[in-house]
């Protein structure tokens, strides 16, 4: 029978907390510098979003919650939701990378700014930011890591566990990019397609969640550890599926509502580019 790695959780809260603290300080320094140059680019609410994103990452992989993901599927699901559906959009809303880059020496910032305006950089950015490009990695990541054999491998390997969490965060950043639009870019598709984009994103989540909730057999026997009964693990599986179903529905519904309100509030002449 599969079993978790005897070493327990693969993350050490100390180093992760230190790394995120350093990232937060760099972000704050960059935010203050950028704020002095252009106060409207990163208002205070964006700083709150950026710091909240780093806190969400810590809760997911550096807090005591990380010690429970080998025992409870629900804890593992909370981690994935925090990384993909909370930390990722908050990072984009907080313009975390943009602010952090401004903590670098001035000449470096100037070089990066100049490069970002080149046709090659614009072309790469346009491709990466396209909704079709952003949707599939997120759906694939969600589906692949919840295949029982793949999840079991990640649970038993520190390296794959780290890759798993990193992939949820990266795919989350890609997914939320067309929704949040951290800075203006040329867009050709109708803006209302973003609402459809969010709706379609709920489908793989709903299918997986429904499978976990209504399945009458254990999907992940790897959680049969530490003397837990099959009934307990099955209940945990139901809770994890219900949590995913509820949280994803609420988060995407709120995002879709905000996008709709923003589009309705914009002048008609501005609705041709988003």
pTM for the whole structure: 0.82
Identify whether the C-beta of residue 11 lies closer than 8 Å to the C-beta of residue 61: yes
Q: Greater confidence, 111 or 272?
A: 111
Q: Greater confidence, 116 or 207?
A: 207
Considering just the CA atoms, what is the radius of gyration of the chain in Å? Answer: 20
Q: What DSSP state is assigned to residue 85?
A: I
Measured CA to CA, the distance from residue 264 to residue 269 in angstroms comes to: 12
């109708």: which residue's tokens?
190
What local confidence, expressed as pLDDT, does residue 38 receive?
78
Residue 95 CB neighbours (<10 A): 24
């997986």: which residue's tokens?
208
Look up residue 194 and give its two tokens: 């973003």
Domain boundaries, the chain: 13-270
Look up residue 166 and give its two tokens: 């990193």
Binned at pLDDT 50, 70 and 90, residue 1 comes out as: very low
Q: Greater confidence, 127 or 143?
A: 143
Using DSSP's 3-state secondary structure scheme, residue 244 falls into helix
pLDDT exceeds 70 at position 204: yes
Question: What tens digit of pLDDT does each residue of 209-223 get?
Answer: 999 999 888 898 888
- In total, the chain counts a number of residues equal to 274
Question: What tens digit of pLDDT does each residue of 188-201 get?
Answer: 444 778 889 999 99
What local confidence, expressed as pLDDT, does residue 115 receive?
66
Residues with Cβ within 8 Å of 180's Cβ and at least 6 positions away in sequence, in order, are 89, 92, 93
pLDDT exceeds 70 at position 10: no
């Amino acid at each position: 029978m599969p079993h978790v790695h005897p070493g327990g959780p693969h993350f050490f809260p100390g180093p992760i907390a230190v790394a995120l603290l350093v990232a937060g300080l760099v972000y704050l320094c960059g935010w203050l510098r950028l704020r002095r140059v252009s106060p409207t680019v990163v208002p205070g609410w964006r700083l709150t979003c950026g710091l909240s994103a780093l806190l969400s990452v810590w809760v997911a992989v550096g807090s005591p919650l990380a010690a429970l993901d080998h025992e409870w599927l629900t804890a593992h699901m909370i981690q994935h939701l925090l990384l993909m559906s909370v930390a990722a959009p908050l990072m984009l809303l907080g313009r975390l990378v943009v602010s952090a880059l401004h903590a670098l020496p001035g000449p470096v910032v100037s070089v990066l700014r100049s490069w970002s305006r080149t046709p090659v950089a614009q072309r790469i950015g346009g491709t990466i930011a396209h909704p079709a490009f952003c949707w599939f990695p997120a759906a694939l990541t969600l589906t692949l890591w919840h295949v029982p054999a793949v999840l079991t491998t990640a649970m038993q390997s520190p390296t794959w566990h780290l890759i798993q969490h990193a992939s949820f965060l990266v795919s989350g950043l890609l997914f939320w990019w067309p929704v949040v639009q951290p800075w203006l870019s040329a867009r050709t598709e109708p803006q209302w397609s973003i609402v459809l984009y969010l709706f379609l994103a709920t489908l793989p989540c709903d299918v997986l969640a429904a499978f976990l909730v209504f399945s009458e057999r254990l999907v992940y026997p790897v959680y049969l550890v530490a003397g837990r009964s099959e009934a307990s693990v099955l209940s945990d599986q139901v809770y994890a599926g219900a949590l995913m179903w509820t949280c994803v529905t609420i988060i995407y519904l709120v995002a879709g509502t905000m996008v709709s309100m923003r589009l309705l509030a914009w002048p008609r002449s501005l609705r041709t580019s988003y």
